[in-house]
Amino acid sequence: MTAVASLLSGSSGKETGRCWIDAFIVAGVVLVASCERKPVSSAPQLASASATGTSSPSHLDSGAAMLAAVDNARSAIALRNPNAAANDIRQAASYAKTLSGRLSDPIFPEPTTAAAGPLGPSVTGAPAGRLTAFQAQVNLTTAQSELRNGNFTEADTGLLAIQNGIPSRLIPIDLPLLRARESLDLARIAVSSGQAPDLRTQLISAQLALNAYSGPRHAMQAKALAADIGQSLNQRGALNAISPGQLSVWWGRVYGWG
């Protein structure tokens, strides 16, 4: 959020009652999610962060894609663009709907480790990341409702809860590249539909994400592309000059780094 600002300068009875409430909330989440637009691209292959700070390729589920869209939605809220933020939240909800496992499972579980035992090594796991699929879907539904009612702060708070529910050590190091790809996806939709404010917001989000990338590969190229996007935004009449073809070229470059 600082980077965006710089650019802008009990009892069993209670348990039973809670279960009934949760059941109704789940039903509402499923109903809303069923109306969401499908994401533009599928969840990609990213590099996962490890305790040693190194990376290893792994095919992540929709959790990373959902988190990237949440990050972009918060950027759009900071830029005071509710329509762009709503598009990002819809994209996040679409990915959340495809999360694998049970609703009570953590979206980002701790990696398993081999522990020596009396019969030899065995696989164990550290405590899991806190955020569950159920909590993510509820927070996204709440954020959508708050944003629809013009409550920017409340919508942002719901999205922040999703971010805070995932330990930083479990976040893929290539997440900024995924953020940029999703923003450029939505930028292509914005330019095709003549939504100049949304185009600007999505390009700023992509620029922020590319500048934030510090992975072991392509960091310099990412920052160079961020500079290209910034230069395009600063030109007079830039939003009318940027074509879907140019956006596709930028998107292809980021895709090639994933």
Name the residue among 204, 169, 209, 3 with its Cα closest to residue 84: 204
Q: Collapsing DSSP states into helix, strand and coil, what is residue 47?
A: strand
Take residue 154 and report the two structure tokens written for it: 């409340």
Cα 48 to its chain centre, rounded Å, is 15
Q: Enumerate helices (H) and strands (E) in the chain, giving the number of each.
A: 11, 4
Residue 48 bridge partners (DSSP): 56
pLDDT at 7: 45
Report domain 20-38+59-109+125-172's class: mainly alpha
DSSP string computed for 24-40: HHHHHHHHHHTTSPPPS
- Is the CB of residue 136 less than 8 Å from the CB of residue 66? yes
Query: Residue 48 belongs to what H/E stretch?
Result: strand 45-49
Side-chain-side CA neighbours of 13 within 13 Å: the count stands at 0
Residue type, 19: C
pLDDT at position 160: 96
Residue 227's pLDDT is 97
Q: Tokens for 178?
A: 């995924």
Residue 116 backbone phi and psi in degrees, to 5: -75, 135
Tell the residue number behind the tokens 């500079």, with chain if given: 227
Residue ranges of domains in the chain: 20-38+59-109+125-172, 173-258
CB 167 within 8 A of CB 48: no
Contact yes or no for 166/131 (Cβ under 8 A): yes
Dump strand ranges (E) for 25-96.
45-49, 55-59
Which helix (H) or strand (E) element contains residue 116?
A: strand 112-117
CA distances, 154 to each of 56, 84, 126, 226 (Å): 37, 17, 33, 30
Q: How far apart are CA 50 and CA 66, in angstroms?
A: 20
Per-residue model confidence (pLDDT) at position 52: 29
CA distance 250 to 180: 10
pLDDT tens per residue across all 258 residues of the chain: 444 444 444 434 434 444 433 444 434 443 333 333 333 444 544 444 433 233 332 335 689 999 999 999 999 999 999 999 999 999 999 999 888 778 888 887 766 554 444 444 433 343 445 788 899 999 999 999 999 999 999 999 999 999 999 888 888 899 999 999 999 999 999 998 889 999 999 999 999 999 999 988 899 999 999 999 999 998 888 778 888 899 999 999 999 997
> Does the global pTM surpass 0.85?
no
Q: What is the pLDDT of residue 33?
A: 38
CB 112 within 8 A of CB 124: yes
The Cα 151–Cα 144 span in angstroms is: 10
- Determine the pLDDT at residue 8: 42
